[in-house]
Chain A
C-alpha cells in the first residue's frame, strides 16, 4: 500500500481560486479521485480519473495531474464550497482504496 498526502487546511476569500494538492508515489500510475464532504453528510464525488467532472458538479471544480501530485482547483470559490476535501486512489484491480488525510477548505 502507499500513502496520499494532503495539506490539512486551505483558506481563501470568496471569488478567489482554491488549490488543494495530493501527493503520492503511485499517482503517476493510478487515477486520482476527489470527494467533497460537508459536516454531517456523506462524501460526494467531485472529480474522477484525475480531471473528469461528474454530471451535476459545477464547472468551477477541476482537476489536474503532474507527476506524483494531483490538484483539485476550485475557481471563483463560493461560501457553499466550504467543506472537507479528500483525494483517493486505488490499485489497478480495484482491490483496495486509499484516501488522503483530507483538507479543510475555509472560505474567509
Chain B
C-alpha cells in the first residue's frame, strides 16, 4: 500500500536550517510529482512546493521562495525539503503529498517549531 513517512522536524531557532525527508513506498515514486504542504497550528492548509516526477521542474509559494529548496532522490524513493533562514511563521506541521494536480495520498506530517 502507498506510504509516505515524513521525518526531520523539530525545534529550531530563527535563522537556522532544517531538512525534512519524506520516504515513499508502495508505488512507483519516480512516476509521480510530489508536493509539500504545511499547516500552522490551528490554521488551514498552505501549499509550499512542488517537484515534478523527474525533478525537472520545481515551484514554490511566495512565502518560502528563496529560502526553501525541494529535491528528490528517485533511487532512494525520498523527497526532501531544505529549509533555510527559518522564521517563526514557518512553524507548522509539514506534510508531503503525492500528485500533480492534487494530493491523492498524504503522509502523517512532521512538526517544525521555530522559536528562540
Contact = CB atoms under 8 A, between A and B. Distances in A.
A98 B106 contact: no
B95 to A, nearest CB: 6
A92 B76 CA distance: 29
Contact of B45 (A41, A43, A54, A94): A43
A102 B37 CA distance: 14
Contacts, number: 62
Nearest to A41: B108
A86 B106 CA distance: 14
Interface residues of A, number: 24
Given A31-B101, A42-B95, A90-B101, A97 B47 contact: yes
- Interface SS majority for chain A: strand
Contacts of B35: 97
A88 interface: yes
Interface string A82-101: 00101010100011111111
Interface of A: 31, 33, 35, 37, 41-45, 48, 54, 84, 86, 88, 90, 94-102
Interface of B: 33, 35, 37, 44-47, 50, 57, 59, 61, 95, 97, 100-109
Given A54-B104, A97-B47, A99-B44, 16 more contacts: A31-B101, A33-B101, A33-B103, A35-B45, A42-B109, A45-B102, A84-B44, A94-B50, A95-B59, A96-B59, A96-B61, A97-B50, A98-B47, A99-B45, A99-B47, A102-B45
